[in-house]
Each structure stands twice: as structure tokens, then as C-alpha cells.
A and B are shown apart, each in its own frame.
Chain A
Amino acid sequence: MSAQRTAQEEDPVATLAEGLSIWVGKLSDLVKKVVDTGPIRNVINWARMYSLWPVNITTACCSAEFGAASGARHDLERFGVLPIGSLRQSDLIVIEGTITKKMAKRLRMIYDQMALPRYVIAMGDCAMSGGLFHDSYSIVNGAHEFVPVDVYVPGCPPRPEALEQAIIMLQEKIRRSKVYEQG
């Protein structure tokens, strides 16, 4: 322990880095406090609310209603929801229906690869509790078993209107939450 300390004392770069990181830490605490109390929070949350880009992954048959909701009549893009191929630029996973054990691993990987903040909507009864297939040998009974879920949408499959409401609820949730506690 003592040998380590002397080594650090002798290395001016390490000392500087250590001091700097303490200062950066203190500064970031301060920034967080300022951001979360002031109007900056509203601006950031406003930006996040209306650019919820879901990952382009479908898990089961609710994708048909997700497709219908993204299509011409329901047009989720007016809420800022635009399906996107890149994980790095997406903020939202809409888990569309049954999650099989084979898919659950991949879904968790995709969740881990997404940048913060990230949100999860569990769409359909199967994503909530296994639904119609609750007694199957190859499914996971609910998305909450491996990812934190923000909004649940019941229905088998839910109507596009229900998904729209879920998006609005998620936006309300984002609007009320603190900037650094999301995702």
C-alpha cells in the first residue's frame, strides 16, 4: 500500500490525473444539481420526449400492429417515433409480443448495447406475462424478467391506439423525471 503511494507521489502525471478526476467529479456533481433544478432539465427532457427512436427489432406477432401504428393512418412519427436500424442512435425498445428463450438473450444484448437513456415498452400480453403461451416450454413469461420495463401495453395484440397512448405515457414519464436518473 505504502509502496504504491510513493510510486504515485513520484509520478507527477498520476498525481495530476488523480487531482483532476476529483475536481471533475465535484464539478459534475455541481452540473447535475444545476441541470436538474433549472430550466435546462426541461429543455433536455423536451428533446428526449420527442425523439424516441425505437430499435428495429421485432420479437413476435405484435409487430404487425406496430407496423400498422408506424404506417400511414396512425403514423407514430408525429410523436417523434421513427424506427431506426442503428442501436447507438436509438432510445427505445418496443418489445412486440412473445419473447422466446432464444430471443431473450439477444434482446438483453441489444439493450446493453444501447446508449443511455433507454426506455422499454412491453407491448402485448405475452411481453407482460406470457399471455396465450404462458404454458409453453420455450418462452420467457414477461419482459420484466430480463430488462426493466417503463410502460406495459395490454392487449393481444394491442390496437395501434393503445400503442400511441403508451408512447404518450412514456413521454409524460420522461417529462417528469430527472435528467440523470433516466434509462
Chain B
Amino acid sequence: MSAPPKPPPLTTVESTETSDSGAQTLTLSVGPQHSGSGHMRLIVEVDGDIIVNVAPDPGYVHRGIEKIIELRNIIKSIPVIERPSIIDASNLNHAWVRSIEEIQGVEVPRRGQYLRTLLNEMNRIMSHLYWLSIYGVFLGHTTMFMWPLGDRELFIDLAEKLTGARITYSYLVPGGVRRDLPPGFAEEAVKRTEYFEKRLKEYDRIFFNNPLFTSRAKGIGVLSREKAIELGCTGPTLRGSGVDADLRKDEPYAAYPELDFEISTRPDGDSFSRAMVHMDEMRESCKMIRQIVKKIPSGPIRRKAPIVLPRGVAYGRVESARGECSFYLIGEGGDKPYRARYITGSYRNMAAIPAVLLGNRLADMPTAWWSIDYWPVEADR
């Protein structure tokens, strides 16, 4: 590679300038190498230590997936689709196969729907646990970094039993799923979810009821209900602002209409609310996993689906761990899509980052920023 031109400085002071009110402001560049996690740069303008302006600078993981999908067969695209949110792979995969099936008009057998839902809910727990562990890093709470990553392995093992891979499954294919339940899976799943629910109580004790966390998160990074709707936020960010919108209830897909679960919302819209929404969702997912392994009907897991994408348009969406993940898919009759627009939860919640940070102190930035559950790889695609 030839010598690149001089890039802007990393975590350094860029300039001082005088704002309209006469106060001196300072422009800081945070990232992409910062002490949290995530390949994201924020250009933050501070007045004293109050944040007065934020400009996210994403694109450090922009891999041009929309272009790549246009050049590949719809089945070969599945691993590419999964990579943006590797910790939540099956939900993204579900959005893709759902939009393909919508155009093809393929109905998935009920057992296949249940297996899809099972992996989706396991993935939601894994993704939330990963989020929680990075929240621990952001807040300097090493126990909360170690515990969720250790408990995440419980579900990684389960998923490995089911699909054969740790985190990148490519389990959902148009028409159904790849593999059936292995023997002894149901007992193992019940055992592990019950153990995990006990662990969640301990999380509450050491982290969520801990003044170290609550004093840093309550009232910080407030996103009002109106603002959240107007900015098009989704997922836990929207539900943390008091909106009970969840595609699993609003537009029931797969096996969700037959399951008993609740949507967790919190009215305050601060970092603490968003964190608690994540916690409640993990509990609900545990319940759902137990219901699924109990209720799962027998029958085929997969129906034959054509490998071509007929002419047509579909807007397929699912509720992934970070919010609504959707594909705007246009088929033209070949085995490749004409256009596949890929909008993920993090991309939509990116609009909320400035809204959440403005007016807070610089020291509160990590708490507020990471409470949005912004996964840069998913946003950049």
C-alpha cells in the first residue's frame, strides 16, 4: 500500500473555537481506538465538560455488503448477511430468508418455524449478554465483563449442539432450517435456562442494584418518547423510551403468535431504562425457550424452495436483538437479487447517539453511548 495521506488525529484535541454565546468550545475526536469497544468515531464538541455537539463518524467497518449481495446467489449470500452482527447472526439471517420466502411464496413447516424461533431467542440472549459484558468494560466493572461472557458460553454450547457452529450458524435457509433438534436437547435447554435465570438475579445484585451503576445511569442520556419515534429508533432503545413496539407482537412471525411472552418497556428513556429492558428481554427469552422445547410440533423441518428469486418486491423484517432488521428486496427472476437494501437495528439507532449525548457531561458519555447497544459492524454493514 502506498503511503496514505495524513489522516485526522485520533483521540486528540482538534481545535478550540468560540461559540455564538462567547464560550470557548473544544472539539474532541473519540475513537476509533478508545478504551471501550467498537470501531466507531465520535466527534464531540464540549463546552467545559458539557457536550454541545456530537457528530458520529461511522464507516470503519463498511464492507459494501449491499453490493456483494447483488453479485451473489441468494443462498451464498447467507454467510455474508450474518457477518454484520455476528453475535446476533440468526436474527439477521431470519430477515433475509423471510423476505426471500415472501417473494417466492414458500410456506415454512411449523416445526421449522419453531426451530427458527428457538435459535432466534437463544441468539437474543447471547447478544444481550455480549452487550452487557461490553457495558462492564465501558463502566470499568470487570466482574460484569467476565460473568456475562462466561454465561454466554452456556447458550453458545446449546447453539453448537443444534447447528454445528459457535456463533455463525447459517442455520436458516429458504423453506426451513438445516438440521433437526439433536437428542437430549430439550432437557439440556431447560437445565441451562433455569440456571441462567438464577444467574440473572445475581447480576441484579452485583450490577443493576449497585449504586456504582445506578448513580451513573439513572437520568443520564435521556431520550424522550417523541424524539425516539421521530428519529426512527427501534428495539430496546425505543422500548426504553416507553413505546411498547415490538415486531414479535405487532407483526407476529414464525412461532411467536403461539408463545406466551411480554414486551418490556420503561417510561423514563434514560440509560438505566434501556439497560433494564435488555435484562427483562433475557428473562422473557428464557421463558420462550422453555415453551418452545415443550410445545414444538413434530413434522418436517424444511420445505423445498426454489433457488431462484422470482420477479417481485418484498419488505421482510424481524425483531433482532438490536431492533428491527429489514430487507427491501427486489427480485428480477434470476438467482441474484436486483437490489437488496439492508437496514439493521444499529443503523437505525445511530440517529439517537447525538440525541442521547447532547447536554450530558463528557464523563457520562460511555454510559449513555453504550446503553443504545450500538454495534458498529451492524450499522456500517
Contacts and interface: CB of A to CB of B under 8 A. Distances in A.
Nearest to A62: B86
B62 interface: yes
A20 interface: no
B35 A85 contact: yes
B62 A100 contact: yes
A132 B79 CA distance: 8
A68 B149 contact: yes
B83 A103 contact: no
Interface of A: 55-65, 67-68, 70-73, 85, 87, 98, 100, 102-106, 108-110, 132-133, 135-140, 145-146, 156-157, 159
Contacts of A137: 64, 67
Given A67-B149, A68-B153, A146-B1, A109 B34 contact: no
Contact of A71 (B7, B152, B166): B152
A133 B156 CA distance: 25
A106 B33 contact: yes
A123 B167 CA distance: 16
A102 B62 contact: yes
A104 B85 CA distance: 21
A96 to B, nearest CB: 9
B250 to A, nearest CB: 29
A61 B60 contact: no
B324 to A, nearest CB: 20
A173 to B, nearest CB: 25
Contacts of B257: none
Interface size band for B: 35 or more
A103 to B, nearest CB: 5
Considering residues A56, A58, A132, A156, which has the most beta carbons from chain B within 10 angstroms of its beta carbon?
Answer: A58
Given A102-B60, A136-B67, 11 more contacts: A55-B33, A56-B36, A64-B87, A64-B130, A67-B130, A71-B150, A72-B150, A73-B150, A100-B62, A109-B10, A157-B86
A146 B61 CA distance: 17
Interface string B131-160: 001100000000001111111110010000
18 contacts: A56-B34, A56-B36, A57-B33, A58-B37, A58-B38, A58-B39, A60-B83, A61-B377, A62-B86, A100-B62, A103-B32, A103-B61, A106-B7, A106-B60, A109-B7, A133-B63, A135-B71, A157-B168
Considering residues B61, B130, B167, which has the most beta carbons from chain A within 10 angstroms of its beta carbon?
Answer: B61
A136 B68 contact: yes
B167 A157 contact: yes
Contacts of A58: 37-39
A60 B39 contact: yes
Q: Which 5 A-B pairs have the closest CB atoms?
A: A71-B149, A72-B150, A85-B35, A61-B86, A136-B64
A139 B64 CA distance: 9
A102 B1 contact: no
